[in-house]
Amino acid sequence: MKSYSLLMITFFLGFNLFAQAPKIKPTKVSTAVYFDKSPPLKELIKLASTYDFAEGGRNEDLKKPRLYPFAETALPKGNDPVLQRKMGTKSTPNRNILQNFNGQSGFSGPLDNNGSVGRDHYMQSINVRYAIYEKDGTQVVAPTAMNTLFAGVDGATVNDGDPIVMYDEQADRWFAAEFSGVYSNPDYMLIAISETNDPTGNWFRWSFAMNGFPDYMKFGITADSYLMGANSDGDDIYAFERSVMLAGGANPKVVQFKNPNRPNSGFHVVLPMDTDGGTFAPTGQPGQFITINDDAWGGTDQLWIYDLDVDWANPNAATFQRTQMLNVPAFDSNFGASWENIVQPNNQKLDAVPQVLMNRAQHRVYGNTQSLVCLHTVDVDNSDHAGLRWYELTRSNNGGNWAIRQNGTYAPDGDSRWMGSISQNDVHEIAIGYNVSSSNTHPSIRYAGQSAAEYANANGVLDFAEVSIQEGNASQQGLERWGDYTNMSIDPSDDHTFWFTNTYILPGNERGTKLPLGNLVLLQ
């Protein structure tokens, strides 16, 4: 039963705070600076020995201070107001992990483990390599330097990292990206799209010149664009011309913006919404982005939403605008100014990455309704005890404003939970995967979920019992960087099965991965 205070919070959330900022124009409209088509990936593997496979601490020089100028007045002062204190108890036989196999491993810090599932394959990337698997776990492309995928492309002589792999379900194609410019100049974004639905085959490849280094870039797919947000002192919002890229065109356009309405957190990325399922938002609706704002940075604890409106026939007329600011129950993202936050069974603490929404902000269309799920890491009781604050937002499929339908903070015991990713399947089942750690628990991988029946209640409760994917038996030594993102993806073959990839520690301080969570089916 809900407490009275929670009812008051729910009532409060019925009032949206609208804050439309002025529309801004692109700082630049341009096209790719390089294009070609690769040979099949199995042939590119032969080049791996000539490409950078270096590992170790990644992008340490790109750290920005964590800013909390209003920490003294920030709320909450005690416990998180929507804290789920107990694990769910619901369990069904067909929710068992069907597969659980090892992915890549490496020594990069952070590992930046992510990947996605397609109709026949799973493609995983970590810093600084990729591998491809069939769905039974058979490895069909062995771990290969990520920049080998871009061999010969402008900017690909270095293997800088922050790789992203996505499956473009509506086009039945694969998308991969890596930045370039950490240790060189100029700055590039390298993007590749598979020519067919076979990721082991040929890929179209482009290099785009960036205005400012595009650190920690994240992508979303809409009907007409690949959207990108980045942690950059230059332009930090981009849209790439999807139709031309899918056709293998040499000159896809890109529009870019410098967002004047970004939270004052230091490091920050505004996350593009990424569509899953078979249906995009109706034609004419702008691409959208979303982020958090902590009152410790200034203002109020909120979700901020932005529109990027581009007509590729006239890209110079494109606009970017913050369109909504939604009040949310108070949360605390302040783990201190350092990057040492999450306790392990040794003296080395791990980075919680608490200033951003985690990969991905998943968008879906259900008939007449659009739904969005997203999450971030919070301190649930002012003791650097990490939990996962998650949200579901809905709006009419005709557009209009988003409203918060449900939210909660998952921290059911004294262990910290962080490095999460969330997705929703075709029948409104929600899965959240994450790492778990404490002074008594080595970094481990687990998941929890919400059933369709509990979804209908909209109480922000994860009612499925927590399940272990990989219990850790070692802790990370000598480095606070753990990972910056991961990914929970939906199998397009049934639009129902969840696949997850995340990190744990192997002997010798090597970072291993589990891939996937394993055909996790959340059914009643």
> Hey, where are the domains in the chain?
4-515
For residue 158, the model assigns a pLDDT of 86
Whether 15 shows a pLDDT value over 90: the answer reads no
In this structure, which long-range contacts are made by residues 450-455, counting pairs with CB atoms below 8 Å and at least 24 apart in sequence? 451/90, 451/522, 451/524, 452/427, 452/428, 452/524, 453/524, 454/90, 455/428, 455/429, 455/430
For residue 349, the model assigns a pLDDT of 97
Poorest-confidence range of 3-17, 72-86, 102-116, 247-261? 3-17
Confidence of residue 231 (pLDDT cuts 50, 70, 90): very high
Q: How far apart are CA 274 and CA 271, in angstroms?
A: 9
For residue 20, the model assigns a pLDDT of 87
How many CB atoms within 10 Å of residue 250? 13
> Which residue type occupies 347?
N
H helices present in 33-181, as ranges = 41-44
Confidence of residue 16 (pLDDT cuts 50, 70, 90): very low
Share of the chain above pLDDT 70, in %: 90
Specify burial of residue 347 (Cβ count, 10 A radius: 0-12, 13-18, 19+). Answer: exposed
This prediction has a pTM of 0.93
CB 146 within 8 A of CB 129: yes
Q: Between residues 20 and 366, which one has the greater pLDDT?
A: 366
For residue 53, the model assigns a pLDDT of 53
Whether 55 shows a pLDDT value over 60: the answer reads no
Structure-block tokens of residue 401: 């404003």
For residue 45, the model assigns a pLDDT of 75
For residue 524, the model assigns a pLDDT of 29
For residue 517, the model assigns a pLDDT of 41
Poorest-confidence range of 11-25, 124-138, 166-180, 216-230? 11-25
- Dump pLDDT digits (tens) for 463-514: 999 999 999 999 999 999 999 999 999 999 999 999 999 999 998 888 888 8
Mean residue pLDDT of the chain comes to: 90
For residue 401, the model assigns a pLDDT of 97
CB 82 within 8 A of CB 6: yes
Bridge partners, residue 322, by sequence: 306
Whether 46 shows a pLDDT value over 90: the answer reads no
CA atoms within 13 A on the CB side of 359: 28
- Dump pLDDT digits (tens) for 33-43: 999 999 998 78
- Dump pLDDT digits (tens) for 257-309: 999 999 999 999 999 999 999 899 999 999 999 999 999 999 999 999 999 99
